[in-house]
Every structure is written in C-alpha cells, then in structure tokens.
Amino acid sequence: MADTYTILIADRNSHVRELLRREFISVGYRVQVARDGRDVLRRWQDKQKGG
C-alpha cells in the first residue's frame, strides 16, 4: 500500500475490535482501537488540544 492510513476502530465488544484490528493490519493499515464512542470523542478532543 503506497499510502499508509490509520483506522480507528470503535466497538464495545473487545472480540470484534481485535478481529477487525488483525484484519486491517494484515492488509497494511495502521490501527488504533477505542472502547466506544465516548473513547473516540475523548481521543479527538485530546488531538485538537495538541495531545
């Protein structure tokens, strides 16, 4: 893959998160996981603050 993208996976089910994480990594994506929507919002807010 020429460009490497990062995918953020959010799901309350840890098994689903892990399955998707492995699948996307296997085709060359960088992957981060979040527990749920609130975790996604927290990450986004932290990034906006420069963290």
* pLDDT at residue 51, rounded to an integer: 64
Single-letter amino acid code for the residue at 6: T
Instruction: Parse the chain into domains and list their residue ranges.
Output: 6-48
Give dist(CA 47, CA 20) in Å, integer: 23
Q: Which pLDDT score is estimated for 5?
A: 87
What is the structure's pLDDT at 16? Answer: 96
The torsion angles phi and psi of 33, rounded to 5 degrees, stand at: -125, 145
Q: What is the pTM of this model?
A: 0.75
Q: What is the pLDDT of residues 1-51, one digit of tens each?
A: 557 889 999 999 999 999 999 999 999 999 999 999 999 999 999 989 986
